[in-house]
């Protein structure tokens, strides 16, 4: 092992999932790319998304109490990136995708994405620069072609991940091992 | 596009980062694998980790007000997995890794991991089954061999991601594009 170097404190999760959050803002469908996302509770299934307060999307979430989370495939990288730097305050993004709805009528989901979640806002937490929106997953949607044994299959979905501050998108690589299994033979050396 | 299928609501982020959280519990160093993790604020850099209340690790975080987040490389998959299903309540995990400290004396970091964060607890949020611990990143540590242009390089770090409920670890794949750039030529078709 080499020498540890202090690299400051503005460090991000390696890597982050690449998602597109869908909302209604001022009566129009809007989409924004989001990488600050995690499940925050097991039962019920709660998801947290963190978005800088200055963005357009929070206006819609706080008003309508719902949002969607869509996982784009790698073929959708350019439009996904576009949704990350163009604001709905200036550009109408409502026509970028085919939109569908589940139970919630203000959580527009992207038909082109292999996996979609519709979330009901249960809490808005306020941090210095960001909101953390806590949503309960009301429904999730995929297609037969993206599933194996009735579960979404990351090989078929081909989602993207990204890293900061080098700002790069990556595909998912090779299968490495089984969770809660591959460590069973581990013994301290 | 095919037909959308409702796949229920217990859906996870695709994929999740694989991290090992370090704490002191009852005076001993302990480690736990965590996948529910995200930055939750930009400035200051706040990170959120969600852990089921029944686990051993929350006792240490709530008492000492600090924790570490360590990103294992794919070579560490077995021991990482082991830390995910063996509880510190039953097994002493303090000798699994070489441990080092930064500014916080109750945030033990794993020397073998390519990237380490030490976090000061700023808030504990309680959800039905999980705590969401909000930590401010006090310091981050890496090694020259894992960095390019003074930034952690995911190609050199070789972190793992995982998916649920199929429960599989994956490596990071190929470089796909530049964030905030590859979408610049995108025009609605």
The CA-atom distances, in angstroms, between B53 and each of A173, B70, B126 are 32, 21, 9
pLDDT reported for residue A80: 98
Quick check: is A181 in a domain? no
List the Cα angle B75/B31/B157 in 5-degree steps: 30
Say how far apart CA B144 and CA B146 lie, in whole Å. 5
- From CA A68, how far away is CA A22, in angstroms rounded? 5
In A35-127, beta strands by DSSP E: 37-41, 46-52, 66-71, 99-100, 109-110, 115-126
Residue B3 lies in a domain: no
Please determine, for residue B89, whether its predicted confidence score (pLDDT) is greater than 90. Answer: yes
- Residues of chain A positioned with their CB less than 8 A from the CB of B127: 40-41, 46, 134
Closest residue of chain A to B43, computed from CA coordinates: A129
- Residue A122, chain B, CB below 8 Å: the answer is no
Inter-chain touch B130–A40, beta carbons under 8 Å: yes
* pLDDT of res. A20: 98
Measured between its terminal Cα atoms, the distance across chain A in Å is 17
Q: With an 8 Å Cβ cutoff, are A11 and B137 in contact? A: yes
What residues make up the domain containing B131? Answer: 16-171
Chain segment B106-121, per-residue pLDDT in tens: 999 999 999 999 999 9
**Predicted confidence (pLDDT) at residue A36 exceeds the cutoff of 70:** yes
For residue A139, give how far its alpha carbon lies from the nearest alpha carbon of chain B (Å): 5
Q: How many Å separate Cα B142 from the centre of its chain? A: 15
Question: Which chain A residues are Cβ-neighbours of B87 within 8 angstroms?
Answer: none
Locate B83 and state its tokens.
Answer: 């830390």
pLDDT band of A164, cuts 50, 70, 90: very high
Tokens of A185: 């033979």
Q: Which residue of B has its CA nearest to A9?
A: B139
CA distance B23 to B5: 42
In a domain, A107, yes or no: yes
Q: Is the pLDDT of residue A90 over 60?
A: yes
B103 touching A, CB under 8 A?
no
| B2 shares contact with chain A (CB less than 8 Å) | yes
Cα gap B121→B131, rounded to integer Å: 12
Q: Is residue A11 part of a domain?
A: no
| Structure-token pair, residue B136 | 């401010």
Are A102 and A138 a contacting pair, CB within 8 Å? Answer: yes
pLDDT digits (tens, 9 = 90+) for B8-28: 999 999 999 999 999 999 999
Q: Are A74 and A161 in contact (CB under 8 A)?
A: no
Contact A65, A72 (CB under 8 A): no
Please judge whether A179 and B168 are an interchain contact, meaning their C-beta atoms are less than 8 angstroms apart.
yes
Q: What does the alpha-carbon distance between residue A137 and residue A148 come to, in Å, rounded to a whole number?
A: 21
Confidence of residue A188 (pLDDT cuts 50, 70, 90): low
Q: Which chain B residues are Cβ-neighbours of A167 within 8 angstroms? A: 178-181
CATH code, domain carrying A76:
2.30.110.10
Say how many domains are in chain B.
1
A38·B42 Cβ contact <8 A: no
A147 to chain B, any CB pair closer than 8 A? The answer is yes
| Mean pLDDT calculated for residue range B100-111 | 98
Confidence class for position A110, pLDDT limits 50, 70, 90: very high
Residue contacts between A and B (CB atoms, under 8 Å): 350
Evaluated on CA atoms A182, A184, A185, A188, the torsion sign reads positive
User: A40: which residues sit within 8 A by CB, 6+ positions away?
Assistant: A46, A47, A48, A134, B36, B48, B50, B125, B127, B130, B132
Residue A83 belongs to some domain of the structure: yes
A180 part of a folded domain: no
Contact check, Cβ <8 Å, A45/B165: no
Measured between CA atoms, the residue of chain B closest to residue A168 is: B178
Contact with chain B for residue A126, Cβ under 8 A: no
What pLDDT is stored for residue B102 in this prediction?
Answer: 98
Q: Do A163 and B142 touch (CB under 8 A)?
A: no
Instruction: Copy the structure tokens of residue B91.
Output: 């097994």
Number of Cα atoms under 13 Å in the Cβ half of residue A123: 13
Going through chain B in order, the beta strands assigned E by DSSP cover: 4-6, 16-17, 19-25, 28-34, 37-41, 46-52, 66-71, 99-100, 109-110, 115-126, 130-143, 147-148, 151-152, 160-163, 168-178
Identify whether A59 is part of a domain. yes
pTM: 0.97
Q: What is the pLDDT of residue B186?
A: 85
Asked if the C-beta of A87 comes within 8 angstroms of chain B's C-beta atoms, the answer is no
CB contact under 8 A, B175 and A164: no
Cβ distance A180 to B77 less than 8 Å, yes or no, reads: no
Kindly report, residue by residue over B40-76, the tens digit of the pLDDT: 999 999 999 999 999 999 999 999 999 999 999 999 9
Is the pLDDT score of A189 beyond 80? no
Residue B20 falls inside a structural domain: yes
The pLDDT of residue A186 is 85
């Amino acid at each position: 092992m080499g020498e540890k170097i202090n690299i400051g404190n503005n460090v991000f999760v390696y890597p982050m999932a690449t998602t597109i959050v869908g909302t209604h803002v001022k009566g129009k469908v809007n989409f924004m790319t989001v990488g600050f996302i995690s499940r925050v509770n097991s039962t019920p299934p709660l998801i947290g998304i963190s978005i800088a307060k200055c963005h357009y999307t929070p206006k819609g979430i706080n008003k309508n109490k719902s949002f969607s989370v869509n996982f784009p495939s790698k073929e959708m990288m350019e439009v996904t990136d576009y949704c990350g730097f163009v604001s709905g305050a200036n550009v109408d993004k409502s026509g970028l995708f085919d939109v569908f709805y589940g139970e919630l009528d203000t959580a527009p989901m992207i038909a082109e994405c292999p996996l979609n979640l519709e979330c009901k806002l249960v809490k808005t937490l306020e941090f210095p620069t960001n909101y953390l929106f806590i949503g309960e997953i009301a429904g999730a949607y995929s297609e037969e072609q993206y599933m194996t044994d009735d579960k979404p299959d990351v090989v078929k979905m081909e989602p993207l991940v990204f890293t900061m501050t080098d700002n790069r998108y990556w595909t998912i690589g090779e299968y490495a091992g089984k969770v809660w299994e591959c460590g069973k033979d581990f013994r301290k050396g």
